Amino acid sequence: MDFRDSPEEAQFRARLRDWLAANLPHNWGTEEWREPEGDARVAFYKDWSRKLYEGGFIGLTWPKRYGGHEASIILQAIVLEELGRAEAPEHIGLIGIGMAGPTILAHGTDEQKDRFLRNILTGQEVWCQGFSEPDAGSDLASLQTRAVGAGDEYIVTGQKVWSSFAHIADWCILVARTDGSGDKHAGLTYFLMDMHTPGVEVRPLRQITGEAEFNEIFMDGVHIPADMVVGREGDGWSVAITTLMNERANVGFALLARLDVAFRRLVALAKSTSRNGSRAADDPLVRDKLADLWADLQAFRFTIYRAFSALLKTGVPGPEGSVGKLFWSETNQRLTKTALEIEGAFALLGAGSERAVENGRWQQLQLRSRGNTIEAGTSEILRNIIAERVLGLPKSSR
């Protein structure tokens, strides 16, 4: 048991820090920073993603043949940690790197691997996910988007929802029903859909915060070539499970880094907010909550580390991993709510008001946090998974 970096890890971390110091965009993270808009914004993030790739910090565990480094997963964890700590811009290919890529690596054909993987790492092609539907959320297998085989292609019609990046995406990992006759899990097929195909329409979905982070995708007679099926026709459910497992497994270190930053900012808020002639940080109730959140943060950190060590040792994720996302989501909700309580009446004010604290940052984060217990597996579904697959309790009736 040792939490310190090995010499090789320390060297890699130092190189990344130096690289970030030299390469972070001018004014990034300062008050002067102005986020580009529209096409310029996409160009900015693509450019940043390519820089990260060329710096050697992306695709660390992937095969060299596809632009990866075949390096230890620890180095990948260090990248996530350091990018989070520096609050650096994110790579534009989150869905590609975290979900589409690992799925293609596991189930794709050699042609698919050669065609797609390197462009995911460089950020040249952006991916989105087409899984959820208006009537298929937690019960994903009941999805209704139809794909009808016609010679060497499929014709797809239906609607997907909660798709981040879809408005700028070039490709979509899409699960659709190719057979509606039997078991709902058996009739699904996994496709790689070109988002520029005629019949694909993307509409932004305005969310609780007022922003549009997600989209709806409408497909009306979209043609997908048969060589864009991943796995075989009818294997869609098991291929989709690979995607979802990777979604949960990969996010741990990124979530940890973000929680670290959020906690640091929360402490700064408590220290800078005055209350009754002293700091909010001197209020015993605030102090108790901050200490408790610190314990949550460390508990999450070392739960991720434990899961990670188990993975390195045995090759399979330990039971610790299944609690990570569940624990993080509820911690993040408590953390952001605590910020509002520290602000007092100023919690009423959102972005755009001169009197708002930090231009409404915490109001936005708190509202956004309500999605944390819904996205990537609701807390209810995750508790079912823990109960049945980890604790060995009998299946609940559904």
Partner 1 sequence: MDFAFTEEQEMLRASARQLMAERYPIERVAKIADEAGFDRTEWDAVAELGWTGISVPEDRGGAGLSFLEEMVVAEELGRALYPGPYLSSVVMATHLLRIGHDANELRDVVAGDRIATVAWAGEDGRFDTNPAPKVGWDGEYLSAVRLFVPDIGIADLIVVVGDVDGGLGVWTVDREADRTRWRELSTVDTTRRMGEVVFQGTPSHLVAYSDAYSPRPHGLLRHLEALRDRALAALAVEAVGVASRALELTLEHARTRQQFGRPIGSFQAVSHSLAQAFLEVETARSLAYWAAWAVAEGEPEAGPAAAAAKARAAEAAVDTCERAIQAHGGIGFTWEHPLHRFYKRALGIAAFMGWGGELRARVAADLLDEHP
Q: Which of 23, 309, 333, 378 is the binder for partner 1 (CB under 8 A)?
A: 309
Query: Which stretch in 35-43, 105-113, 136-144, 384-392 sits in contact with partner 1 by CB under 8 A?
Result: 384-392
Q: Which of 176, 327, 373, 377 is the binder for partner 1 (CB under 8 A)?
A: 327
When the beta carbons of 154 and 327 are compared against partner 1, the nearer one is 327
CB atoms within 10 A of CB 139: 12
* Catalytically annotated residue among 81, 82, 133, 247: 247
DSSP structure string for 151-189:
TTEEEEEEEE---TTGGG-SEEEEEEES--SS-TTTTEE
Q: Is 1 in the site for partner 1 (CB under 8 A)?
A: yes
Residue 37 CA: distances (Å) to CA of 41, 43, 45, 123: 5, 10, 11, 18
Q: Which of 19, 28, 218, 305 is the binder for partner 1 (CB under 8 A)?
A: 305
**Selection from 189, 170, 168 nearest residue 231 by Cα:** 189
Chain CA centroid to CA 360, Å:
23
Cβ pair 153, 225 in contact under 8 A: yes
- Calpha distance 372→325 (Å, rounded): 9
Q: Judge residue 229's burial from the number of C-beta atoms within 10 Å of its C-beta, 0-12 exposed, 13-18 middle, 19 or more buried.
A: buried
Smallest gap from Cβ 335 to partner 1, in A, equals 14
Query: Which stretch in 94-102, 160-168, 227-235, 319-327 sits in contact with partner 1 by CB under 8 A?
Result: 319-327
Q: Which of 326, 335, 342, 365 is the binder for partner 1 (CB under 8 A)?
A: 326
Q: Is 291 in the site for partner 1 (CB under 8 A)?
A: yes
Smallest gap from Cβ 73 to partner 1, in A, equals 11
The DSSP letter of residue 366 is: H
Residue 247 bears catalytic tag:
yes
When the beta carbons of 11 and 353 are compared against partner 1, the nearer one is 11
User: Which are the catalytic amino acids?
Assistant: 247
Chain residues in the site for partner 1 (CB under 8 A): 1-6, 9, 74, 267, 270-271, 281-282, 284, 287-288, 290-292, 294-296, 298-303, 305-306, 308-310, 312-313, 319-320, 323, 326-327, 380, 383-384, 386-388, 390-397
